[in-house]
Every structure is written in C-alpha cells, then in structure tokens.
A and B are shown apart, each in its own frame.
Chain A
C-alpha cells in the first residue's frame, strides 16, 4: 500500500522568505501522480501544483515549485517570496496511474505560518 509522509507538522517563516516543505512517499508503482494541496483557514482545499512521475522536469506554478526525486521518493514544495496569504495547511498527495483503485492518498499535512 502507498503511504505519504510529511515530517514537518508545523513551520513558520518571515514574509518574503523562501520555505521548503518536505514530503516522502512509498510505492512500488512506476507511474503515478503527486500533488500539493493548500488548505487555508477557510478550509477549502486548493490544488497548488501537480507532478507526473514520468516527467523528469520539476513542475512550477508562479512562486511554487517542486523538487521531485523519483529514486529517493521525495517530493518537496518550495514557496518563493512567501506571502501572508500562503498561511495554510499544506498536504502532499499521491495517486497511482490508472485502474479503478485510483484514490488519492494524503499525508497528514504541514501547517505553515507566514509571519509579517
């Protein structure tokens, strides 16, 4: 069974700094997808970024980028020029490729505080 581990329960950084959130996963699959979701205080789950395992190039979305290390099964999220609005819970998630059993497995989350 797949597992997703986020080793940092909580982090705080100053506004405008860069922060990296860690995520490791365990799977025997070769093709899969990885996601980072953001959950602000409003509770709404928002997709931040996604990565296809078959792509070597790291995904980027504006100030958000990932460092995907497939051999190490590591998928960290880097937030550059952090903003107060980035304060949220961040969840790393895994989904295997294809098949009926394609549910997403979530990590326990990292609570990120951006300090003014």
Chain B
C-alpha cells in the first residue's frame, strides 16, 4: 500500500494564480482531511470529509475549496492565491469508526509570491 500520497511536493505560485493540490489514499478510508502548517506552528484544519460526496469546513476554510467524488481522492483547490496561503499542506485519512488515528501524507510546500 502506498498510504496517503500528495502531489506536488513543492510549488511556487504567483499572487492571484490558482492550483489544485492532489491527495489520494489507497486504504479505503472514509475520512479525509486537509491541514495547513505555518512555520513553527501546529496544524490547522482546512476542510474534512466523512465520505464521498460529503465535505465540511474546518477551522480555516477561507480561500480554499474541496470536493470528494470518490473514496480515494480529496483534492484541495486554491483560488486567487495570496501570500497568506504560503504554508505546508498535509492531507490525512483514517478509517470510519471511533478512535482511529489519522494517517498523513508527506505534505506539499507551497509558496505564494
């Protein structure tokens, strides 16, 4: 199993550009999450999904959009990139049920200049 994969690993965007961060998991997990981690800080939840077709906002959803058309994929869309979105983005997934820990992807480092 590859686990949780994210692409790209690095990206530099100009202000106002858009992009999609890809996240795929091959563990048949129902729950998927997107976090951002600013330098020296903890993780903040952007969006999450409890299954295909269902998404919910997290703590910091502004400037982002998500979709969940399949169990495996949970892309994160940035529209009109701003310098404040410079961060490392992590995707995570976990099985349904209670108490299961999240499995994380390797992260995408995004710089907006």
Binding site for B on A (CB under 8 A): 33, 35, 42-45, 47, 50, 52, 91, 95, 97-98, 100-104, 106-109
Contacts and interface: CB of A to CB of B under 8 A. Distances in A.
A43 B106 contact: yes
Contacts of A103: 33, 45, 48, 58
Contact of B43 (A33, A102, A106): A106
Contacts, number: 43
29 contacts: A33-B98, A33-B99, A35-B101, A42-B106, A43-B88, A43-B107, A44-B104, A44-B106, A44-B107, A45-B92, A50-B99, A50-B101, A52-B99, A91-B43, A95-B99, A97-B99, A98-B98, A100-B50, A100-B56, A101-B56, A102-B98, A103-B48, A103-B58, A104-B45, A106-B42, A106-B43, A107-B42, A108-B42, A109-B41
A31 B105 CA distance: 28
Contacts of B92: 45
B4 to A, nearest CB: 10
Contacts of A33: 98-99
B111 to A, nearest CB: 15
Which secondary structure dominates where chain B touches chain A?
strand
A70 to B, nearest CB: 16
Nearest to A101: B56
B74 interface: no
A45 B58 contact: no
B69 interface: no
B73 to A, nearest CB: 19
A108 B41 contact: yes
Interface string B35-55: 000000111010010100000
Contacts of B41: 108-109
The 8 A-B residue pairs with the shortest CB-CB distance in the complex, in nearest-first order: A45-B104, A108-B42, A106-B42, A106-B43, A47-B101, A33-B99, A43-B107, A98-B98
Contacts of B70: none
A101 B56 CA distance: 9
A101 B33 CA distance: 12
A107 B102 CA distance: 15
Nearest to A42: B106
